[in-house]
Structure 1
Amino acid sequence: MTTCCCCWVLVPQGSAGIMEQVGGQFDDVVPPGLTFFNPCAQKVSGAQSLKVQILRCELNAVSKDRASVFVKCAVIYRAIPSQVHRSYYSMTGAADQIRSYVIANLRGLLPEKTLDEIFTERDHIASTIRKSLAETLANYGFELCDVLLEDIDVRGDIRNSMNQQVYQRYNRQVEQHLGDIQKIHQIAAAEAQAEASRLRGVGTAQERSAIATAFQQSMDGFDANGSMKFAELTALMLMTQYFDMVNDITVHGKVKPSSYYFPLKQGGGLDRGELRERLKRTLQQGKEQHQQQSAPNTTVRRAPIEDADL
C-alpha cells in the first residue's frame, strides 16, 4: 500500500511501486521510500509486495483404491524483485490462480496412488508439484519457494481400519518373536536333557564297572583265603543285593534306573529258590572259567543268563 500526494509517493519497505506514464504505459519501478515524480507526465499505478507469502489449499480427492482423502497444502511464493512489472501486469488475482494450479496438480497425482502410497510418498508428491509449478510461476514473475503437504486425512471408518491393520501387523510380529523364544527354550531344554542322559549313562557305566571290579577282587580274595565256600559267598551276595533293592524301593518310592526288580513269585514264574539256584549255577560257571585261565590279570568271563533260563 503506497501513500501518494501530488508530486511524491511513499512506498513501504518490502514492496515496490509501479510508475506509469500518463497514457498508462509502464514507466519504472519505484523502490521503497520517498520518491518524487512529475504529476503531469507520470502517475503511480499501484504496488507489488516483495515479501514471501503463503497460500493454503484444500482438496477432497479419491485414491487409486477408492478411498476418500482430504489434503491440506501450503504454497510458499514471492514476486521476483527484478521482474516486479511482469508479476504486476501478467497475473490478476495471483493467489487464486496459483491455488488453481496446485489443485489441478493434486487432482492428477492422487488418483494414481493408493492410500498407503499417499501417506508414505507425501514428500515425493510435494516435490512433483514444486517442479511442475515452479516453471509456470517463473513465466509470470513469481518464485516458488516451497510446497508442503500439511495434512492428509481420511474418514473415521477408514482411519479405524488402518489402525486395525497396523495392530494386526505388529501383533503378528509379536507372536513370531514369542514363537522364536519358545523354540529356543525348547531346544535348550532338549540339549540339557540329552546331556543329562549322557552323563547319567556314563555314571551308570562307571558304577557297574566299579561293582564288577570290586566283585572280581572279592572273589579272588575269598578264593585265596578259603575262609568261605563259594556257595555261601554267592548266597550272601544275592541276599545283600536283594536287601539293597528293597531299600531303594522303600527310600525313593520307586526303583532307580540302576536297580532291577525281579518278582519272587507270579503266575507261572520262578520262586526265590529257583531263581537263586539258576544265578548260583551261572556264577559257578564263571568261576570255573576263571580257574581255567592261566594268564595273569585276566578278567573273569561270566556266562550270560539266557532269556530261556529265566
Structure 2
Amino acid sequence: MGNASCILVGCIDQASIGVVEKWGRFEKLAEPGLNFFNPCAGQYLAGVLSTRINSLEVKIETKTKDNVFVQIISSIQYRVVKQNADDAFYELQNPREQIQSYVFDVVRAQVPRITLDQLFEQKDEVAKTVLQELEKVMGEYGYNIEHILMVDIIPDPSVRRAMNEINAAQRLQLASVYKGEADKILLVKKAEAEAEAKYLGGVGVARQRQAITDGLREKILNFSHKVEGASAKEVMDLIMITQYFDTIKDLGNSSKNTTVFIPHGPGHVRDISDQIRNGLMEGKAGSSGAHHD
C-alpha cells in the first residue's frame, strides 16, 4: 500500500512526447496518453516536447558575386524526431538559434558565388543546399528539417530602381518594335491595295475603250452597207462630227452654271475629228495588248 501511494499519474497530449528521468538520468520516452510514474523510485517526468511542425523565418543579408547586397527571407519548417526526442531535449537548449546560425553560414557561403540574376533563377537550388546541410547537422540533435522555402529576395533599393528602369526600357523597346512591324504591314497592304486598284482601273478603261470601238465599228459597217459609195473613213468622220455637236448641245442644256469655251470652225472640227479617230485607234491597240497579256 505504501508503494501504491507513491505512484503519480501524468497525461501527455497528442503530438507530444514525454522525457522520463530516474534519479536525474534519462530513462525512457513517454508516449501520448496516460502515464504512471513512481517518485519513490526516483522516477519523474522531466519534460514534454511537441512533435508538431514548427516554422522559423530567417532574414539573411549577404552579397552576390556581382557585389549587390541582398536580403534573403527564408522559411524553415522543422520538427522533433519522435524516436530521438531525448537528443532534442538534452543536446540543444535553443534549437531556433542553432538552426538560424546554420542557415546564415550556408547561405553566406553559397550566394557570393553567384550573380544576382543567377540567385533569382537558382533560389530553389540554394534552398536545397541549405536543406541538405541542415539535415546533416540537426539530425544529430534529434530534429528533422521538413522543408525550406526562399520566400523573398530583396536587393538594395538603388539596385531595385535600376532593375525596374531596365525592365521598363526593354518593354518600351519591344513595344516600339511591334509598332514598327504593324506600321510596316499597314504600308505594304496599302501599297498592294493601291496597285491592285490601279491595275483594275486600267483594265476597266481598256474594256471601256474596247466597247466604244466595237460599237463605232458596228455603226460604221451598218451605215456603209446601207449607203452605197460611202467609205468607212467618211462614215467615221460623220459620226465623230455628230457626237461633237451632240456634246455641245448637252453642255448647253446642262442646268449647272458652267461656262465652257470650245474653239469652233471648219478647221477645228476637222482637227477634233482627227484627234478622236487617233484616240480610238490607240484605245483599240491598248485593248489588243491587254488581251495578249
Shorter chain as normaliser: what TM range?
A: 0.7 to 0.9
1:234 is aligned to 2:228: no
Using the TM superposition, name which of 188-197 and 99-108 deviates more: 188-197
CA distance in 2, matches of 1:280, 1:67: 87
Q: 1:281, 1:85 → 2: CA distance?
A: 121
Pair 1:89 & 2:102 matched: no
The AA in structure 2 aligned to 1:146 is H
Q: Distance in 2 between matches of 1:110 and 1:66?
A: 11
Deviation (angstroms), 1:44? 4.1
Q: Cα 1:241–1:179, aligned 2, differ >3 Å: closer, same or farther?
A: farther
Change (3 A) 1:243 1:114: farther
- C-alpha distance in structure 1 between counterparts of 2:276 and 2:128, whole Å: 100
Amino acid in the other structure paired with 1:178: K
Equivalent residue runs for 1:32-181 within 5 Å: 32=32, 33-181=34-182
Deviations 1:159-203 (A, max 9, x none): 222222222222233223322322332232222222212211211
| CA distance in structure 2 between the aligned counterparts of 1:94 and 1:282, rounded to whole angstroms | 110
Residue 64 of structure 1 aligns to a residue whose secondary structure is coil
Cα pair 1:231 1:280 within 8 Å, conserved: no
Tell me what 1:308 maps to: none
Secondary structure at the residue paired with 1:169? helix
Asked whether the equivalents of residues 54 and 79 of structure 2 are also in contact (C-alpha less than 8 Å), the reply is yes
What's the CA shift for 1:62?
A: 1.2
Gaps of 5+ in 1: 1-5, 251-263, 265-270, 287-299, 302-310
- Does the C-alpha gap of structure 1 residues 243 and 159 become closer, same or farther in structure 2, counting only changes over 3 Å? farther
Aligned partners of 2:92, 2:108: CA distance in 1, in Å? 23
Question: Which whole-Å CA distance do the structure 1 matches of 2:102 and 2:277 have between them?
Answer: 112
1:222/1:78 CA distance change after superposition, 3 Å: same
1:242 and 1:165 map into 2 onto residues whose CA distance is: 78
Name the structure with the higher helix share. 2
| Residues in 2 aligned to 1:282 and 1:27: alpha-carbon distance in whole angstroms | 128
Gaps of 5+ in 2: 1-5, 255-262, 286-293
Alignment of 1:201-240 (within 5 A): 201-226=202-227, 230-231=233-234, 233-234=236-237, 237=240, 240=243
Aligned to 1:26: 26
More displaced, 140-149 or 237-246?
A: 237-246
Change in 2 beyond 3 A, CA 1:10/1:26: same
* TM-score normalized with structure 1 length: 0.69
Check conservation: 1:11, 1:17, Cα contact below 8 A: no
1:239–1:177 Cα change, 3 Å: farther
CA RMSD of aligned residues (A): 3.7
Whether the 8 Å CA contact 2:75–2:148 is kept in 1: the answer is: yes
Is the 1:11–1:30 Cα contact (8 Å) retained in structure 2? no
The answer as to whether partners of 1:234 and 1:280 remain within 8 angstroms in 2 is no
Contact 1:53 1:76 in 2 (8 A): yes
Alpha-carbon distance between aligned partners in 1 of 2:156 and 2:9, rounded to the nearest angstrom: 54
What one-letter code is carried by the residue in structure 2 that aligns with 1:84? A
Displacement of 1:77 in angstroms is 0.5
Q: CA deviation at 1:60?
A: 0.7
**Residues paired across the two proteins, number:** 260
Distance 1:166 1:92, change over 3 A: same
